[in-house]
A and B are shown apart, each in its own frame.
Chain A
Amino acid sequence: MGLLLISQRNNESLAANTLKPSQLDFTNSNEIQEPAAVTPSKNSEVATESVSATIAPPTLTEPEQKLWITLEEILKSKNDSDARVKELKNLTPAFHKALIEKYNTLKMEDRNGRGFIVFLVAKDLKSAEDLDFLQKVYQEAPCMNLENCNGSSVEDNPHNAGIDQTTLVYPQLVALYQIEKQLDSHPEILKDPALRAGIFATLKQAEAFPVPSVHDRAEKIRQKYNL
């Protein structure tokens, strides 16, 4: 057993008397500016769809419904490292269908949640419906900023622009990653005409996505496998 101890020391005086970098003006000889407006908001968390009381789709079998509850708990906790992610494998077409429906309920700004659903579907492509779904992922309008996908793009601080831009297209990158991984490990899936056609169509759709990191990667995968 391990203990993680967090000690929160005395409090208001620590905050009140502690200068923050944003209060200092290093251009004008460290003059202290008015306090930056960084008071924590009451709602500092991205608004996600409320987990609809862990009600699993009735189309799933009982064991699948239990697995669905696990999925919802992981999505809600945002804990990617949850060991139970490993249980979400060898999912049935019915489960995939439910995943696709779930994806459409998640806010666009929930890049990680949407990417997680794409991951679960794409890592185990089973059907034409799976590939239709992935094609739709590439038909989405690109998310313009992490706070509001439909808003305008934010002036990037080049220091951290890379992570932001990767997250903005995270679902799209995840699908390509999983497609390539499957083709690397099981190239024989291309012998199935339906899967081959679907993968080709998905990659072509990805090449039309207006973000270089996505369309370039899709093109490379398609060329790698002579599709």
Chain B
Amino acid sequence: MKKHLLALLLVTATTTTSFAALTFDSDVPANIQSQMVEDLAFMAQIEGSGQTPFHKEIYTAVDGKAYKNFFETRIFSVGLDSCGGGAAVACVQPFFDPNKMWLTENFIKFSHPQVARSMVVYHEARHSESKNGNWMHANCPRPFLGADGKDMVSIWTGAKLEGQPACDSTYKGSYGSSTIMLKNISKYCSNCNEKVKMDADIYAMDQLNRISKPAVKQSMLADFAN
């Protein structure tokens, strides 16, 4: 049955958080749409007391308006797809439609903290930047060792990350930029609760492990110390 549906959500905020109309395909379940809207609304209401230089470069301030602008200038529509299957939560297929984000049912099925879901969304949004080669990931080096000198491997399957297109050699890529965003939320968000800030820190430090060049990683750590 064809019908035009307009959902109106009132968000109490001191500033306007209205998005340009983000369109959802009709087959995106209502509960996935709601969660996405809620997560974006959370990002859009963030207030910050500062930012690191890398954050300023990529997003400008730790600020909801900045995050809203970042997202809505990159993603215009949302659809439902398997994103290659497995445990994927979201994806962008730049060669298909760089400005469309695809969510999977895992987006709400898996019990990720909200800030982790937001990290994935912003990571994927970064891949929409065709002018920057979509920030395609670098192959993780061979060998790819952690700080403990051991191979970086999947904790469950034992599969090594070395050689996989699952690293960034720059702080500006999807892993790097979303790590910087989370670390700044953890440090500077002035209206986030303690859980959100903790989660941002936990997931940021995990994602930092995907930065393959030691010098870049060090520069990010120095950035975080600002």
Contact = CB atoms under 8 A, between A and B. Distances in A.
Interface residues of A, number: 77
B120 to A, nearest CB: 6
Given A111-B112, A167-B112, A1 B22 contact: no
B58 interface: no
Nearest to B42: A81
Contact of A18 (B7, B37, B79): B79
Interface residues of B, number: 91
Given A5-B21, A85-B194, A174-B202, A153 B156 contact: yes
B12 to A, nearest CB: 7
A53 interface: no
B108 A46 contact: yes
Nearest to B158: A153
Interface in A1-31: 1-15, 18-22, 24, 26
A2 to B, nearest CB: 4
A5 B194 contact: no
A91 to B, nearest CB: 13
Given A24-B96, A153-B156, A212-B155, A159 B81 contact: no
Nearest to B34: A6
27 contacts: A1-B12, A2-B18, A8-B6, A11-B5, A14-B25, A21-B93, A80-B114, A80-B195, A80-B196, A82-B193, A109-B111, A110-B111, A111-B111, A111-B112, A146-B110, A155-B157, A156-B154, A157-B84, A157-B87, A160-B88, A160-B89, A163-B203, A163-B206, A166-B116, A167-B112, A174-B202, A216-B148
Given A146-B111, A155-B157, 13 more contacts: A2-B16, A3-B18, A5-B8, A6-B24, A15-B25, A41-B105, A146-B112, A158-B140, A163-B112, A165-B154, A166-B206, A173-B202, A177-B201
